[in-house]
Amino acid sequence: MKFSTKELLEGIRSGNKRLIAKAITLVESKKSEHRLQAEELLKELMSFTGNSIRVGVTGVPGAGKSTFIENFGMLAIANGKKVAVLAIDPSSAINKGSILGDKTRMEELAKEENAFIRPSPSSGFLGGVANTTFETMMICEAAGYDYILIETVGVGQSEVLVADITDVFLFLKIIGGGDELQGIKRGIMEMVDIIFINKVDKENLHKAKNTRLELKRALDFIPPKEKDWKVPVLLGSALSNEGLNEVFEKIDEFITLKNKTNRLGEVRNQQAEKRFEYWVQEYILSEMKKNNSLEEAYLQHKKNASALVSNPSTEAKLFVDKFLSKN
């Protein structure tokens, strides 16, 4: 990294987008010399973080997440706010794709001085991709962004990853398209704070209202995630900006409630604990990789476990004993 920690820190604090991007690249790296500097930087940034509203946006592919984020972002900017857009795309390491790689989808927002758009990390970047959206978010907070909007790919574990780092979780639903696919039956409903039925127009308004009824009924069977918060089901169109003001207001209302009950801080504390656990694993794994015999032992014990030679727990214990004796 050709920039010193001080230069990066000053760049971030003064809102220099090029240096913000450099800092993000640094925290995404798994190389140990980069990690050292990343930790130094994050330590310096800590006191400037915590002041943004962290919003996760999920929904099936094509539900309109990027369109929503772009127009919501424009609305926030019109209200005097600064907006950062990030993406969680655990699949990108496999298919080398990036859901925000196609930046043209946020053409308008990308032109705004008060917006910062960061595509998902692609594989092979500075020695591998870590799950560092949280750390990226810290950098954006320290740079003074008021809203951090995180788009998920809407499949598999990405929702869990996003829910684990955000304050409010927004689910974009389209009419039809199969409830099962859209998460009604796979736990999304338990994680969601606000639902927005997207792509509603005059023609399908009636259908949209029926969908809203169904969703409300489904929500009645789910224990509330936040006390005193009834998940609102809003209708609108991300493309033509309809209903976005309501989402803006609901987010505000939700954050105010969570602040009042201290839930905002409480949840963030729990999230930080999870990040700690994540990094303990990351650092242990990276220590292991530095030592060939340990890595071999790890693979051997894993193989024994998978071949049912002995119990997985027995193999794990044998490996950890070796790990401790070598460290």
Ligand X SMILES: Nc1nc2c(ncn2[C@@H]2O[C@H](COP(=O)(O)OP(=O)(O)OP(=O)(O)O)[C@@H](O)[C@H]2O)c(=O)[nH]1
Check if the beta carbon of residue 54 is closer than 8 Å to that of residue 148.
Answer: yes
Binding partner of residue 67 among Mg ion, ligand X, none, CB cut-off 5 to 8 Å per kind = ligand X
- Closest contact distance (angstroms) between CB of 159 and ligand X is 13
Tokens of 52: 């943004």
- DSSP letter for 237, please: B
| 41 or 99: CB nearest Mg ion | 99
Query: Measuring CA to CA, which residue among 286, 299, 297 is closest to residue 323?
Result: 297
> By Cβ distance, which residue is nearest to Mg ion?
66
Check if the beta carbon of residue 16 is closer than 8 Å to that of residue 34.
Answer: no
Q: Per CB under 6 A, does 64 bind ligand X? A: yes
Encoded one letter per residue, x for contact with Mg ion by CB under 5 A and - for no contact, window 80-109 reads -------------------x----------
- Closest contact distance (angstroms) between CB of 101 and Mg ion is 10
- DSSP letter for 242, please: B
Q: Which residue has the tokens 């308008």?
A: 108
CA distance 204 to 200: 6
Q: Per CB under 6 A, does 63 bind ligand X? A: yes
Check if the beta carbon of residue 244 is closer than 8 Å to that of residue 236.
Answer: yes
- DSSP letter for 176, please: S
Encoded one letter per residue, x for contact with ligand X by CB under 6 A and - for no contact, window 70-109 reads -----------------------------x-----x----
Q: Which residue has the tokens 């758009």?
A: 117
Query: Measuring CA to CA, which residue among 187, 323, 320, 168 is closest to residue 259?
Result: 168
Question: Residue length, the chain?
Answer: 327
Q: Per CB under 6 A, does 120 bind ligand X? A: no
Binding partner of residue 114 among Mg ion, ligand X, none, CB cut-off 5 to 8 Å per kind = none
CA distance 86 to 136: 8
Member of 20, 26, 168, 238 binding ligand X (CB under 6 A): 238
Encoded one letter per residue, x for contact with ligand X by CB under 6 A and - for no contact, window 31-60 reads ----------------------------x-
Instruction: Give the interface segment with ligand X, choosing from 65-73, 119-127, 186-194, 310-318 (CB under 6 A).
Output: 65-73
| 11 or 64: CB nearest ligand X | 64
Q: Per CB under 6 A, does 178 bind ligand X? A: no
Angle between helices 65-78 and 244-260 (to 10 degrees): 80
Please list every residue from 42 through 81 that binds Mg ion, using CB under 5 A. Answer: 65-66
Give me the torsion for CA of 137, 142, 146, 152, rounded to 10°: -10
Binding partner of residue 62 among Mg ion, ligand X, none, CB cut-off 5 to 8 Å per kind = ligand X
Task: Using CB under 5 A, list all residues that contact Mg ion.
Answer: 65-66, 99
Task: Using CB under 6 A, list all residues that contact ligand X.
Answer: 59, 61-67, 99, 105, 154, 198-199, 237-239
